[in-house]
């Protein structure tokens, strides 16, 4: 009987590759970058780590052998979910590898605004020494975390270290560690109104697309800051720009935008009350290490039971 084929993308280190080979004893394991791999390999692969267009063109053919895809990212909204489901392919995401770096990005933006670090950096480029400003603190302020999953829980834990009051919103409304109060989506209005910082970490679904619009920003305090480390399309960008211009909210920290990347002439680039990062909140020098550990756990379950046991995507919910 021929060996089962596994394709692993993502630039694993030699040590990480060795660990995968050891865990997949008896398998034909192929490592490589997307452009290095023959697309026809995806017709024979049973397991794929990462994503390549060849998964859709070759891996989902009627006679292909694909059974499981381990995504390299937490967000899977841009993948052909309906086609994967129709083929009966199990999809697992990389949820759980992002809490440290993404929560640190949100915290950095919050601190940047209150301590005017963004203003100081702009003044540094102009060689301008200007100590003026309305400096604040995040200590004892209220943070509203919209999307209280693993990243949200880590951010809540860090916020508590600053003495912040932590409010959370999640679909179930169930309590979670690190939060003083938890709400279901029906309580979003109350959280927006009470928070000094609103941090969006929601996945992109039909329910969350355009959730942060003119009405939502109008519910926030004029002194509040909006931070988006979730998904760009969850925000109506024109409404956000208008809210920033009119002083409806004090500022916005954006790691994701809609569209992405922003056009060169987009007004967000030049707004003094905006901090932009180019969708890098999830990046870290430990990313490959964490995804490999997650995959190895899932691989052990898959080999034993024919099914990964962590982060299996619910195609009905799109995450």
Active site residues: 231, 260, 279
Instruction: Mention every residue, 6+ apart, whose C-beta is less than 8 A from residue 54.
Output: 34, 37, 39, 41, 42
Token pair for 273: 């009350």
Token pair for 292: 């490999």
Exposed/middle/buried for residue 191 (C-beta within 10 Å: 0-12, 13-18, 19+): buried
- For the stretch 146-149, contacts whose Cβ atoms lie closer than 8 Å and that sit 24 or more positions apart, written own/partner, are 146/188, 146/191, 146/198, 146/199, 146/200, 146/201, 146/202, 146/230, 147/200, 147/201, 147/202, 147/203, 147/230, 148/176, 148/179, 148/182, 148/201, 149/95, 149/201
Q: C-alpha dihedral over 88, 94, 95, 98, to 10 degrees?
A: -170
């Amino acid at each position: 009987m021929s060996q089962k084929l596994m394709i692993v993308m993502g630039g694993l280190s030699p040590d990480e590759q060795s660990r995968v080979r050891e865990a997949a004893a008896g398998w034909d394991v192929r490592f490589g970058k997307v452009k290095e791999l023959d697309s026809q390999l995806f017709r024979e692969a049973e397991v794929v780590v990462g994503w390549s267009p060849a998964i859709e063109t070759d891996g989902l053919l009627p006679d292909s052998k694909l059974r499981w895809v381990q995504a390299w990212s937490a967000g899977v909204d841009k993948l052909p979910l309906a086609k994967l489901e129709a083929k009966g392919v199990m999809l697992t995401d990389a949820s759980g590898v992002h809490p440290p770096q993404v929560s640190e990005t949100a915290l950095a933006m919050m601190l940047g605004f209150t301590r005017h670090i963004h203003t100081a950096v702009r003044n540094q480029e102009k060689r301008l020494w200007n100590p003026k400003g309305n400096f604040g603190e995040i200590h004892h302020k209220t943070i509203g975390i919209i999307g209280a999953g693993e990243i949200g829980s880590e951010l809540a834990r860090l916020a508590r270290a600053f003495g912040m009051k932590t409010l959370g919103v999640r679909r179930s409304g169930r309590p979670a560690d690190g939060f003083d109060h938890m709400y279901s989506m029906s309580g979003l209005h109350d959280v927006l109104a009470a928070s000094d910082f609103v941090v969006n970490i929601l996945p992109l679904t039909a329910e969350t697309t355009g959730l942060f619009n003119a009405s939502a920003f109008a519910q926030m305090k004029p002194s509040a800051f909006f931070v988006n480390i979730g998904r760009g399309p969850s925000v109506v960008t024109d409404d956000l720009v208008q809210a920033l211009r009119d002083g409806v909210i004090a500022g916005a920290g954006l790691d994701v935008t809609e569209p992405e990347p922003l056009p060169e002439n987009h007004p967000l680039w030049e707004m003094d009350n905006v901090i932009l990062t180019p969708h890098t909140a999830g990046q870290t020098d430990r990313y490959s290490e964490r995804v490999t550990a997650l995959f190895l756990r899932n691989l052990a379950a898959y080999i034993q039971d024919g099914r990964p046991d962590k982060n299996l995507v619910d195609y009905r919910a799109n995450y």
